[in-house]
């Protein structure tokens, strides 16, 4: 396809990222209105008279933590007594009474432990009449990590490395995390009692379940110790994880350890959760941008929320098949934009370099080879795809031919999980740098039916 088509998809991605700007989303949901502090988000409205407030604390964690925290400080001003938010390295610092502390991601580290314990201590000191504003976004699971008693930070990290390599989805990750933690699965809400808690959530998970976002530190946990054991068994790693982890989970499943708080727990009587931004928010913005492209001709828009799941290469093949089938039904000269959201996984078999979005794009390139009027952009809204500096990659019907002219074998790169050098050689990596937000991934497909017969 022409460079204009690639630019069209890139512009739609940028529009999607702008729509989930954390600062804008928090500013629209949190404010002082008259003599009250107000939370006003889709489906949620709450207000607390300033006269009844003693202190306001800001806490939280995630890739969007800095932007969310700054926006909350701007909205609440001098009423904020203090707080701490765990953020990615490079975003740390202090802003007024709030400290932004660096923490590890995607694997927890000693800084994740320090952040979790500092927030836990702050919440345990909060009291009746206090308001805790919790700002939670994707990445928070790793950035707040306080292992349960008897488990070391390294033992917990090794468990997650094994889950990551096995291709576990985010819900599976978080069910295990909650049962190896002192802070996840509603435990921070329990620690904050009797303060009021408002949790503002930027969702990076399919279905936008508050209990899954960053492992739900302020939300009821529907999973159990037995569920966590079942997940490790299903991925074939139960006997590979450290013995202390197996022992802890077994004791919990046997009833020797307390479960995480469930929906009827008193911890949630004073807690309110509000989704301020989701993957669908980004999808809608990308769709709107594509629909407004004046030079594209008549364009049908197809949205596939939650479509991105399972193995990246298999999902890419299904996506391309659906894009092709939809394009075949178009009138000549018409186009279709197909936008999918969610998060795939990669079962790592090779020793190459890449990420789930780059692997998706490489599989799409193979699937679309020779089809000149089809293209796919696969990207992470956080600007990061696997252990690389890319957010994802672009592929179209000419990608394989261009690669072959450079001596690149797309099949070999795919089997070695080596998409990064493949797309770097073609100039088709998407490199944005950290975007400061995170609502999972987007795959944006474009196809046009030729107006020329045959």
Is the model more confident about 257 or about 156?
A: 257
Q: Which residues does residue 198 pair with via DSSP β-bridges, in sequence order?
A: 133, 272
CA distance 430 to 442: 13
Is the model more confident about 257 or about 169?
A: 257
pLDDT at 454 over 50: no
Q: What is the enclosing helix (H) or strand (E) of 22? A: helix 22-29
pTM (two decimals):
0.87
pLDDT at 171 over 90: no
110: number of Cβ within 10 Å: 12
CA distance 302 to 72: 35
Name which CATH class applies to 23-146+181-223+260-277.
alpha beta
First to last CA, the chain: 18
7 secondary structure, DSSP code? H
pLDDT at 197 over 80: yes
Is residue 228 within 8 A of residue 177, CB to CB? The reply is no
Q: Place 153 in a pLDDT band, splitting at 50, 70 and 90.
A: confident
DSSP E strand boundaries for 282-363: 299-308, 335-342
Mean pLDDT of all residues belonging to the chain: 94
| CB contact set of 343 (below 8 Å; sequence gap of 6+) | 169, 170, 204, 205, 206, 308, 309, 356, 440, 441
Q: What per-residue confidence (pLDDT) applies to 299? A: 84
pLDDT tens, residue by residue, 216-240: 999 999 999 999 999 999 999 999 9
pLDDT tens, residue by residue, 411-421: 999 999 999 99
Residue 436's nearest CA partner among 9, 69, 10, 31 is: 69
CA 34 to chain centre: 35
CA distance 343 to 379: 10
**Burial bucket for residue 35 (CB in 10 Å: 0-12, 13-18, 19+):** exposed
pLDDT at 285 over 90: yes
Q: Place 105 in a pLDDT band, splitting at 50, 70 and 90.
A: confident
Q: Place 451 in a pLDDT band, splitting at 50, 70 and 90.
A: low
50 secondary structure, DSSP code? G
Q: Percentage of the chain with pLDDT > 90?
A: 84
pLDDT tens, residue by residue, 333-388: 889 999 999 999 998 889 999 999 999 999 999 999 998 789 999 999 999 999 99
31: number of Cβ within 10 Å: 15
Fold of 3-13+280-448: glycerate kinase, domain 1 (3.40.1480)
Q: What per-residue confidence (pLDDT) applies to 296? A: 61
Cis, peptide link before residue 138, omega less than 30° from 0: no
pLDDT tens, residue by residue, 68-85: 999 999 999 999 999 999
Q: What per-residue confidence (pLDDT) applies to 372? A: 79
- Per domain, the residue ranges of the chain are 3-13+280-448, 23-146+181-223+260-277
| CB contact set of 129 (below 8 Å; sequence gap of 6+) | 52, 53, 54, 55, 195
């Amino acid at each position: 396809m022409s460079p204009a088509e690639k630019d069209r998809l890139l512009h739609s991605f940028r529009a999607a990222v702008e729509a989930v700007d954390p600062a804008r989303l928090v500013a629209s949901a949190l404010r002082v209105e008259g003599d009250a502090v107000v939370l006003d988000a889709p489906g949620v409205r709450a207000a607390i008279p300033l006269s009844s407030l003693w202190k306001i604390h800001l806490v939280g964690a995630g890739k969007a933590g800095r932007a969310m925290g700054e926006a909350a400080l701007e909205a609440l001003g001098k009423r904020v007594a203090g707080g701490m938010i765990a953020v990615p390295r490079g975003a740390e610092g202090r802003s007024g009474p709030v400290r932004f502390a660096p923490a590890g991601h995607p694997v927890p580290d000693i800084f994740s432990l320090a952040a979790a314990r500092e927030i836990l201590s702050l919440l345990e000191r909060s009291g009746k009449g206090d308001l805790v504003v919790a700002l939670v976004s994707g990445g928070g699971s790793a950035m707040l990590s306080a292992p349960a008693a008897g488990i070391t930070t390294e033992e917990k990290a090794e468990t997650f490395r094994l889950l990551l390599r096995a291709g576990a989805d985010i819900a599976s990750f978080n069910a295990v995390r909650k049962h190896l933690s002192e802070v996840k699965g509603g435990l921070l809400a329990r620690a904050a009692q009797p303060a009021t808690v408002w949790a503002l959530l930027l969702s990076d998970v399919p279905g936008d379940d508050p209990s899954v976002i960053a492992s739900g530190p302020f939300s009821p946990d529907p999973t159990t110790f037995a569920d966590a054991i079942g997940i490790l068994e299903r991925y074939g790693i139960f006997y590979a994880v450290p013995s202390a982890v197996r022992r802890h989970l077994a004791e919990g499943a046997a009833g020797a350890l307390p479960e995480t708080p469930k929906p009827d727990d008193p911890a949630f009587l004073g807690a309110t959760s509000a989704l301020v931004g989701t993957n669908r928010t980004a999808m809608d913005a990308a769709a709107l941008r594509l629909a407004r492209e004046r030079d594209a001709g008549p364009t049908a828009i197809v949205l596939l929320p939650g479509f991105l799941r399972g193995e990246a290469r298999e999902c890419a093949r299904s996506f391309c098949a659906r894009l092709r089938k939809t394009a075949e039904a178009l009138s000549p000269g018409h186009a279709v934009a197909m936008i999918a959201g969610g998060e795939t996984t990669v079962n790592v078999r090779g020793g190459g370099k890449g990420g789930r979005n780059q692997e998706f794009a490489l599989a799409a390139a193979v699937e679309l080879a020779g089809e000149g009027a089809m293209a796919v952009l696969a990207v992470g809204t956080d600007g990061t795809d696997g252990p690389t500096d890319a957010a994802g990659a672009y592929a179209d019907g000419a990608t394989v031919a261009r690669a072959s002219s450079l001596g690149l074998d797309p099949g070999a790169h795919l089997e070695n999980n080596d998409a990064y050098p493949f797309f770097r050689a073609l100039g088709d990596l998407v490199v944005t740098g950290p975007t400061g937000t995170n609502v999972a991934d987007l795959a944006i497909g474009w196809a046009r039916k030729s107006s020329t017969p045959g």
